[in-house]
Structure 1
């Protein structure tokens, strides 16, 4: 886009030391500049760099800041309030700083010290050749003139968001981090989508998963009720929540304790208030980051530079619940050598229960053409005979307990009126559509300059959170009530289906504490090489409580009890016993899970050597890390964890030198390779290759190819072995006769890694004829082998020869031998195994335009993903299944996913709208396609923001006060009925039942 082009030109001007007088070139730049345009500015007294950042935000102009070694960058300037031209504004803003500025073209200026590279104030420096290169926007740098201690700060605009980057300096994490460890300000061989802080605020997001719902490369996200732990994960390319690597400030995290079984990271662990930007790499990157990066990488950059204290409060809710309160306080402190910040965040969300939505109030889905999923249990219950004969004195084998029954002194005659009636009840009315959550977080960051080229840094994140997912009532189906139960009116054993009325709904509760610290040093070896060493330690504990299960033994004992004071009475329309008796039937389960990780990393980065076409850049480094899991108070594995040692390298070589304008190399190649050595798997090598080609000005063609892997997680390998006995299974080898077997599940130490290869190729167009326009398209493909999965026992039995080691049979009897049948089934091992493959491919497209007019700044954009293929082999002997456009319980893959937005801003006021569109697709159930086509879905969000001091005027109350009002899902679009949801009635991967959500946000600076 034009921002990158102009920045490149300004960088060139600064680096070459060219500050020219009123020559023909400067006169042309001045004539092209909107010198007469005035801007409404309100810049408080701030450090120079922060004041210039505010200037870019409020004017849309581009600034490069190049101080000399004596410039005090912490010096305060301002305030500046009123309407000014850009030139007058900068003159007044810099009046006391000793700095000067020059306009280099219509959208950019450079601020510098008069002494920079010997340049006199408003003077001339550099040759005519230098000026020619600068006029073309081509960078020019005479390295021998650049003092090592100097640094360039490029201040520009991305969308409507001020950004600061430092190319070619020690702050590696100030540029786009993911995709490469080699510093870059432009495009890499793989596409990266960036959500800046302003974009996040404009979306009205309250959590990181809220932001990622607008990433079309994520074909589905699960509704919040789906996981009972309240966790939410990324599903890049739909290949699994355990194949998207999550980074914090460019460094990997370990799986969260509530997600050990999935080997995934719960994105709700991190407060959104602490996040400065989110970077999304929609390409595999195991060659750079190691395991878990098959589907992509998400990097969460935390806030580091906070110029003034800010209090931020957001409140919102949906119809019937899901009330949300989020409050944060951020502050920073800096001196000449120290930069630090701290963020306190509090997050609270209340239940939204199923009774608030019509779909879950009544699970009789026959009204939609589906099945009746209401439970046969109810209040009052239903009594049935054991053998199917009529109950004594009745004309039916079943009868409903009379409404209003006390359950005492009943006779069969009391059931005559209800004979043949069954009371069915929906159990989702008490289920939480949105779980209850509370989180307290603190994030601290600091940098300290120990010497000229040596800096220490530290970051600490602490989170305490509690999540409660509410389940349904306690239904009891087919309970045997002995004849001598004191309340049994039939004087013979009967079965009763009933709900234990009087008990609070069951819950899953998780109490989690997480602390993560990263510490390190970074510096420069010389003007060409930088280095960094870092250490990370992370520990999280989860105390979990489940109250959803009844004790079968206690229930049977209470029904068989002869003492009326201690017996359960299922023949009452109401509680079947005292509160103490009912509570004694619950079998609470407590468990403790712990996830620990440590990591050491070091790398050097710089220019390896010079080619005629330019410098070859390189990164060389290594990592060591170990991971440990404690699952249900059991350390996994017994050898106390997994050690991983890695060595990695990256190269970037210009094959054909800079373009005529100097906005990058005409042709460049990137190479990356990584060797990981696992203590329990041995070594694996993964390479990655990329090309960038600029055949014409404003046109970039790029592509990359690499291999990926994911070793089985510690849980998948060493999860405790569990058994379930007395399960009835039909045995196809014995004429589908029923056999009582024992199922074995748990970890499998013989698993092998998942392997994958991926490629992406595409183009980026930023035409100079349309400044601010950016067009992008990418074709991508991912192919995985040896996926770790569960195989249904029916597939085992249908392919017994291939899985004979997982099937245990008794010795065949003589009768079995005579009939040509094997012995009866004894045991089936359904633990995880390597099986199946998955291939997916498609095209991503994106168009963005930044347009500044006298009516304000407009930022229309649209991004979309078209999926050509998503095929998987799920069972042996079964052909690959194409899941595109067909509902699937593992997650539905739509043919298209489109996200569009339109923003408008002018001083004091901003409006934005976002549209998320999903096409219709075919519904399915366990038997296959149902013939029903689910309708398309369009979700529209709107938001308005008001800078109160700009609208009303400055005073103590309105200064730095921003008000935001927004509505997500304006038209209250709820997920339609779908049989793929079975008892829940909707596709939880492509919709939810929250509906319209309104919110108010206040942000006050001090």
Structure 2
């Protein structure tokens, strides 16, 4: 049957398709209302289609679930240079934080350089990504590979992106908890299209440009068709130092906490708030630690007794050549913590992506007019990051590398660091400088299938198999502990020792009598060494690349049939039945030095290795109950069910029911309720034990005796023997591991969505209006996740002294070393008792004729109402909505005007103000009346973009500006918030700044 334009608009919108803000899109099949009459007639002749959210073929896009469709043309008009930018935009994600190239220097699932998407903020492992209706396997590096990497998706041939923000596990499988994203490529193309795009930043310091070039083409015969593309995408590095707002992160105290001893440290050298290191004060550099003694203090210091010193050749008394910068009542900020080399760190890490995609089909003329079809996707990602390292060198008592005035002091510490079995005379906290990490990820997916008419009239079958592999080689420059230890153990060099083994008359002790053993002695402890001026031969000896390899494979075999059962007065009952088998395997082998804990003060990792498989059978039915009767133009019931049997976690069933009701032409009501069952991802089950470090500022016992601190915390910190005014000097060690051995269970969830679409008939000439609203509730039980190091520490130390002493609950995950006072926290994968999310989506579209063309206004608003989680059922419940990186409100809007061959667009993205203050104090049992004088809140954020496009039959040119007003990310109290400069690290903000873009395409 044919469909009217109005009907298509109503059904396609579902969750407000016509009101997609940033991209202002309508699917090409449904056409925007300002397209030509020819396009409208073509759309009215639309045949059977399958849209994400259902496997049933329909002659409309009608669905009870909210679906948004993004077209390629509108993505170009918005200036988005990659598929990642399309899928991670505020309009798709509703403002929830995403992992992109901002996080190259952080430990993330999938490894550095990975780009993932998380719907509803529930994490990428709960969002399923499809390519042409078939799942995209995980890709990346390191042991936590478990989600699709958006880098692998082909951009050149994308026709549209369908986004289902509703649970669909019963339709697609266990990982479709929060929603599904389906990337649909063109299925036919005659000729060749060449396209290029360049996004150039306008900042005076440059950096961060993006470019993309692609060639796509297709050809066909009477019984066959072939389409393919080749493309290259590059993102240049954007360093921290290239943006002036990131140059000087400060504590950011407001001054209101000064009465309690909380205020910015004013650098006596500048008279301004002191710049801290990028981890907000957790790094000490250009300093040595010794046993306490009297000496001359540096500017800003107090007292005369010190145990931290900075080179100063002008000092001739006390510890000659050094000034005191720590110990006693001295503020830690007297020490050096900031190095200009830190500004070389990657803000956006660079990446080069090469992608080849080919698809085709051949009509057999047999087996039910069957077509054999195939797809092949090949992708290579080359990414890298620049970071900063501190190097702490321990010089042993009696070492000839220690100068006389320091050798005369008492030993600093016993048997620790780089001098096993010896006491430490002095520890040099050296600002080593920058180090590099890089990754190469090769991804390949091959698929072949057959589809045709089933032997039952009007039924069709589809059977396919696919094999996907991701192989990554990842490298990071590391200090090797064994070489550092060997180089620090020196003796006088015997006559005839090879020159490369000698430094100032000394050689490594291990080399005496064995000159063939390569070892370069450590540098002397002097001002040059302390300042990071290190001998190149020694650096090349102790600082080496460590390489690991990650392999992930997935095999899928799927079969299904669909068609009508019989006809009711309101229409045909449509069904789908299918079965699927999937098998996945992960094998991550870190470098031997990483496995053997031989990487000094850096993360270590064990081998991650495991497999899992699942058999599933599933079905779906659509029943038209009423149609074209009074108060029921349409009433359609849908239902689906799936039986799942995992090798690892056994079996379960899931279901989903939905209803679409149109009582009158201008109103459609819809709703769904469904359940999900998700077995933990392979890395969540089998991740090898991984150790890493976070800054010492994360120790919750810092200044535990300050006014206003939770009394339980103060008592618990004191019970460990920590002195008053305690300040941690050791990084917090964090252990992560898979949870299979600890009894990790599968998670279950439920998802309720209720919505309405309003399309009133406006007076003639007033245009067309569509409005959609959807309310959703998602509840995850036994959710698989990591609690977070900070949360574990706060909950442990804020527990009652009796609970703390019992070493149970959260405290079972915390251990403090009584000799060094250093903390170790186990943050493995566990089953969180409950994870609850409530929210609303609003979508609006208005279109009217103005002058020679048409005006289209789109707006999309997301309101998160509740986001709560608990590890144990007895834990207090906190609603994190409105805290940093978790906005309560976000919105996108655009207005476009089209006439003749021209189209213009203005777009706006908005992120609500956010604050951690109430949440922080509530979680830590402290009162806002005893304010620290922090401002861990950020203002609302607006981002504007503008563009203009001209096109004819074979050429399209688009130019525009993103972030028109060069809006910078908002700032907060940097010492408490962390991030870049004083800005929270949040994907919803634009850290690049204003950029101009141009896109040109030519058809041949």
The one of the two structures with greater contact order (alpha-carbon pairs below 8 A, sep at least 6) is 2
Residue from 727, 739, 747 that aligns with 2:738? 747
Q: Deviations over 1:302-344 (max 9, x none)?
A: 2322233111011122232012121000111012222221111
1:348 maps to 2:234: yes
Aligned-partner Cα distance in 1 for 2:200–2:823: 53
Residue from 59, 66, 71 that aligns with 1:191? 66
Contact 1:636 1:718 in 2 (8 A): no
Q: Residues 743 and 773 (structure 1 numbering): CA distance in 2 closer, same or farther, change over 3 Å?
A: closer
Q: Residues 829 and 211 (structure 1 numbering): CA distance in 2 closer, same or farther, change over 3 Å?
A: closer
Aligned counterpart, 1:656: 626
For 1:50-199, what aligned pairs fall within 5 Å after superposition?
Answer: 60-63=35-38, 109=41, 154-155=42-43, 165-167=46-48, 174-199=49-74
SS at match of 1:716: helix
Aligned counterpart, 1:758: 751
Residue from 50, 62, 80 that aligns with 1:205? 80
Q: Deviations over 1:579-625 (max 9, x none)?
A: 12112222532111011011111111110112233211111111111
1:295 maps to 2:178: yes
For 1:245-260, what aligned pairs fall within 5 Å after superposition?
Answer: 245-258=128-141
TM-score under structure 1 length normalisation: 0.75
Q: Residues 217 and 760 (structure 1 numbering): CA distance in 2 closer, same or farther, change over 3 Å?
A: farther
- Shift of residue 567, structure 1, vs aligned partner: 3.0
Aligned-partner Cα distance in 1 for 2:8–2:37: 11
For 1:233-248, what aligned pairs fall within 5 Å after superposition?
Answer: 233-248=116-131
Aligned counterpart, 1:383: 288
SS at match of 2:86: helix
Q: Residues 857 and 470 (structure 1 numbering): CA distance in 2 closer, same or farther, change over 3 Å?
A: same
SS at match of 1:994: coil
Q: Residues 179 and 880 (structure 1 numbering): CA distance in 2 closer, same or farther, change over 3 Å?
A: farther
- Shift of residue 762, structure 1, vs aligned partner: 1.0
Q: Deviations over 1:830-881 (max 9, x none)?
A: 5322123111111111111333444213221001111221222256643111
1:328 maps to 2:191: no
Which has the larger displacement, 875-884 or 285-294? 875-884
Aligned-partner Cα distance in 2 for 1:425–1:579: 23
SS at match of 1:831: coil
- Pair member with larger Rg: 1
1:784 maps to 2:667: no
1:717 maps to 2:646: no
- Shift of residue 238, structure 1, vs aligned partner: 0.9
Aligned counterpart, 2:356: 442
Residue from 870, 884, 895 that aligns with 2:888? 895
Contact 1:603 1:622 in 2 (8 A): yes
1:623 maps to 2:580: yes
Aligned counterpart, 2:704: none
Aligned-partner Cα distance in 2 for 1:478–1:932: 35
1:605 maps to 2:562: yes
SS at match of 1:305: coil
- Shift of residue 766, structure 1, vs aligned partner: 3.0
Contact 1:176 1:184 in 2 (8 A): no
Q: Which ranges of structure 2 fall in alignment gaps of 5 or more residues?
A: 12-27, 106-111, 256-262, 265-274, 408-424, 492-501, 505-520, 596-604, 702-714, 723-727, 816-820, 929-933
Residue from 877, 880, 884 that aligns with 1:883? 880
Q: Residues 609 and 230 (structure 1 numbering): CA distance in 2 closer, same or farther, change over 3 Å?
A: same
Aligned counterpart, 1:546: 476
Contact 1:486 1:564 in 2 (8 A): no
Aligned-partner Cα distance in 2 for 1:201–1:544: 33
Q: Which ranges of structure 1 fall in alignment gaps of 5 or more residues?
A: 12-52, 65-107, 110-153, 157-163, 168-173, 811-823, 951-958
For 1:551-950, what aligned pairs fall within 5 Å after superposition?
Answer: 551-559=480-488, 561=490, 564-565=503-504, 566-573=521-528, 575-632=532-589, 641-658=611-628, 666-721=634-689, 732=716, 735-737=719-721, 745-749=736-740, 750-769=743-762, 772-791=768-787, 792=789, 794=793, 795=795, 803=808, 807=812, 830-874=827-871, 877-887=874-884, 892-924=885-917, 930-947=934-951
Contact 1:482 1:559 in 2 (8 A): no
Aligned-partner Cα distance in 1 for 2:29–2:63: 28
Aligned counterpart, 1:94: none
SS at match of 1:584: helix
Residue from 424, 430, 433 that aligns with 2:344? 430
SS at match of 2:292: coil
Contact 1:808 1:826 in 2 (8 A): no
Contact 2:459 2:564 in 1 (8 A): yes
Residue from 355, 361, 364 that aligns with 2:247? 361
- Shift of residue 497, structure 1, vs aligned partner: 2.2
TM-score under structure 2 length normalisation: 0.75
Aligned-partner Cα distance in 1 for 2:866–2:323: 60
Residue from 995, 998, 1003 that aligns with 1:997? 995
When the two chains are superposed, the root-mean-square deviation of aligned CA atoms in Å is 4.1
Which has the larger displacement, 269-278 or 632-641? 632-641
- Shift of residue 217, structure 1, vs aligned partner: 4.5
